């Protein structure tokens, strides 16, 4: 249980982590709803069959809904590396945000505190703190281009690519590098590029270019996805 001061609002929407899996990933979401309270009501409503371990309101209030030992229902279908049951292997954090406004400073501060707190209790490396859109690029776009991944990376709470020079444009090599980093090989090039850009080159558009190539290659070289199983 977290050492942070959390409000508790228990959700009935959870199960056991399958096959004795332990969390070694964190998935970050936004709620896409108008208010945190509306999102909490949905995440605690058995009819909707969705939940997350935590929700963070815009004022930094952290709401604890599912115990970390249990499997919350936030990720759905998707894949990261060889993991397809992301819910069994992850802790899900929802940020109250409708999807079209910046993330509040107090909310980001609380997220960083919560991430530090979670990784102090589990074996979770920075490259395994990902967005919902990373594990489900076709289906999901949260936390979106306004989410500041670089800020997290500076504190060891995520990773950020560095480039020295652009590389030759080659779609197959780009996809191979993203798969080495963790993206699903079943994802289309367009969906992969869109998820990758939202996270690593927000507000950049246009066709695949040499900078995309270099960034993806750096991620593949420095942060290749760990394909090992994790069980208690
Ligand atoms: Zn999500």
Instruction: Please report the pLDDT score of residue 140 as a whole number.
Output: 95
Q: What is the pLDDT of residue 8?
A: 93
Pairing label, strands 54-56, 7-8: unpaired
169 CA → ligand 1 middle, Å: 31
Q: 2: pLDDT confidence band, cut at 50, 70 and 90? A: low
Model confidence at 153: pLDDT above 70: yes
| List of domains in the chain | 7-154 (3.40.80.10), 171-222 (no CATH)
Near ion ligand 1, which residues have CB within 5 Å? 29, 132, 142
- 79 CA distance to ligand 1 middle (Å): 14
* pLDDT for 231 beyond 80: no
Q: What's the gap in Å between 93 CA and the centre of ligand 1?
A: 9
What local confidence, expressed as pLDDT, does residue 56 receive? 98
Q: What is the pLDDT of residue 138?
A: 87
pLDDT at 21: 94
The alpha carbon of 75 and the centre of ligand 1 are apart by a number of angstroms equal to 7
pTM of the entire predicted model: 0.96
**Mean pLDDT, rounded, for 39-60:** 97
How far does residue 92's CA lie from ligand 1's centre (Å)?
Answer: 9
Determine the pLDDT at residue 10. Answer: 96
Tokens of 58: 């815009």
Q: Per-residue pLDDT averaged across 14-34, rounded?
A: 96
Known catalytic residues? 94
- Over the stretch 80-124, which tens digit does the pLDDT of each residue have? 999 999 999 999 999 999 999 999 999 999 999 999 999 999 999
Model pLDDT for residues 50-88, shown as the tens digit of each residue: 999 999 999 999 999 999 999 999 999 999 999 999 999
| Res 3: pLDDT | 61
Q: Which tens digits make up the pLDDT trace of 155-210?
A: 999 999 998 899 999 999 999 999 999 999 998 889 999 999 999 999 899 999 99
């Amino acid at each position: 249980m977290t050492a942070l001061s959390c409000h508790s609002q228990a959700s009935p929407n959870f199960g056991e982590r399958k096959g004795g899996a332990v969390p070694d990933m964190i998935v970050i979401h936004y709620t896409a709803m108008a208010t945190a309270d509306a999102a909490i009501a949905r995440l605690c409503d058995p009819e909707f069959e969705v939940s997350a371990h935590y929700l963070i309101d815009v004022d930094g209030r952290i709401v604890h809904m599912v115990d970390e030992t249990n499997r919350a229902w936030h990720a759905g279908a998707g894949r990261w590396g060889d993991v397809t049951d992301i819910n069994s292997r992850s802790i899900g954090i929802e940020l109250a945000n409708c999807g079209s406004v910046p993330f509040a400073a107090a909310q980001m501060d609380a997220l960083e505190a919560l991430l530090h707190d979670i990784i102090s209790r589990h074996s979770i490396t920075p490259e395994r703190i990902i967005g919902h859109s990373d594990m489900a690029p076709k289906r999901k776009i949260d936390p979106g281009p306004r989410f500041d991944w670089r800020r997290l990376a500076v504190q060891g709470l995520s990773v950020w690519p560095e480039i020295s020079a652009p590389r030759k444009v080659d779609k197959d090599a780009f996809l191979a590098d993203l798969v080495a980093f963790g993206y699903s090989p079943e994802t289309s090039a367009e969906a992969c590029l869109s998820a990758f850009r939202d996270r690593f080159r927000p507000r950049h558009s246009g066709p695949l270019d040499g900078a995309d190539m270099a960034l993806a290659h750096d991620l593949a070289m420095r942060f290749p996805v760990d394909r090992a199983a994790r069980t208690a």
